[in-house]
Amino acid sequence: MNLASPETAISDWLATQKQAMLDLLERLVNIDSGSYDKEGVDAVGAQIKAFFDAHGIAVETIPGATKGDVLRAVLAAPDQAGGNAGRNIVLMGHRDTVFPKGEAERRPFRIENGRAYGPGVADMKAGLVMNAFVLAAFRKFGAAPGPMVGLFTGDEEIGSPEGRAVIEAEGRMARAVFNAEPGRPSGNVVTARKGGVFMVMAIEGKAAHSGGNFEAGISAIEELARKIIAIHALTDLKAGVTLNVGLVRGGQSVNTVAPFAEGEIDLRYVEPAQRDDIVAKIEAIVRTANVPGTRATLAIKGEFLPVNPTAASNALFETYVGAAADAGLKVAGEFSGGCADSGFTAAVGAPTICGVGPVGGKAHSPEEYLEIDSMVPRAQALARAICRLPQAGL
């Protein structure tokens, strides 16, 4: 079969699906699915499963203990000999958002001046829709160059505490991974990302009346302040390492020497070796008491791994660039300081590119938007790139 024939058929079919894509997107956006709202995240999953059921695509559900289940849509390919034909082509995305319960009712899906709005519309429910329709296209035309897997996880926004093991297992079986995080506002995709570690330091002091018995108190808040200064001093912008204590809590009352305090730390880094070095320095800061009598602990709440380019991921990117050009898009690669599940697949050796979803911006804010005219071309670019994996030696 001529490779151009199924590629063209798939692209032409996707061109007819814009309204159907938007209809599914509206249903997904209008369901609250914050990371800690398992019921909501699974309700989004039910909509996606119903779509696959209608298109004859099998879906496996991997139950989440407290977070959203993982859906694994599987599309078998015709028998193919040689190369990587037996290894999975993975389309990945997360169903959870950062928004609280009730957000979808407060500002439901809407379209104005060519942009769609609503909680999670770009990050990343549009990417979920794109992945679903690309899988449906390959199911319809039978042109996949190998088995395909759609992985729809439920806890990315909090570091994938339950989804990570599933993602890494999938990455070990993958010949290529496309993560449908939103395309950059420039239209580019993401070829490299920082890693991130999210930590909590908890400090114990001693309560005392701040007027009548001040000298008997031990201030956990003072100790927290001193530790924050030391931790922020570890930032090295040239090396790509940043530290931010973004949340602080503590104290009992304004007239009490604070008996406890807590700070949440965000570490971002580029190279894997930086992670262990900086974490060790943070641990030393936490162990060292500046205010005598205080005690402190450090706990890692979650983390992401970096995406660093390899020869294979560069080949995947170049394949995508050519496919995007034939879909009418001019695409370059960008580095992102943000983290994503793509770091987990990249770390286990799977050629990975990220940000291949429809184009959007202002994620995690009430102004989050999606360029609706990017839905079909980005789906076409992804489908064309998948068709061309064998030509790229992937």
Structural domain includes residue 392: no
Structural domain includes residue 393: no
- Both 40 and 147 in a single domain? yes
CATH number at residue 78: 3.40.630.10
pLDDT at position 3 is 45
Structural domain includes residue 330: yes
144 alpha-carbon distance from chain centroid: 25
In this structure, the number of other CB atoms found within 10 A of the CB of residue 227 comes to 26
Rounded to whole angstroms, how far apart are CA atoms 364 and 114?
20
Rounded to whole angstroms, how far apart are CA atoms 167 and 185?
27
The pLDDT mean for the chain works out to 95
pLDDT at position 143 is 80
Domain count, the chain: 2
Q: In this predicted model, what pLDDT tens digit does every residue of 76-123 receive, in sequence order? A: 876 554 445 668 999 999 999 999 999 999 999 999 999 999 999 999
Structural domain includes residue 76: yes
Helix (H) or strand (E) holding 302: strand 295-304
* Percent of the chain residues topping a pLDDT of 90: 93
CATH number at residue 229: 3.30.70.360
- Both 48 and 189 in a single domain? yes
- Both 286 and 322 in a single domain? no
- Both 19 and 130 in a single domain? yes
- Both 136 and 172 in a single domain? yes
- Both 69 and 165 in a single domain? yes
Rounded to whole angstroms, how far apart are CA atoms 343 and 190?
11
By the 8 A CB rule, do 341 and 94 touch? Answer: yes
Rounded to whole angstroms, how far apart are CA atoms 39 and 260?
34
Name the residue range of residue 119's domain.
Answer: 4-193+306-387
Stated pTM of the model: 0.91
- Both 327 and 351 in a single domain? yes
In this structure, the number of other CB atoms found within 10 A of the CB of residue 330 comes to 10
Please name which of 83, 84, 240 lies closest in space to residue 173, comparing C-alpha atoms.
Answer: 84
- Both 102 and 238 in a single domain? no
Rounded to whole angstroms, how far apart are CA atoms 142 and 10?
10
- Both 259 and 168 in a single domain? no
- Both 60 and 78 in a single domain? yes
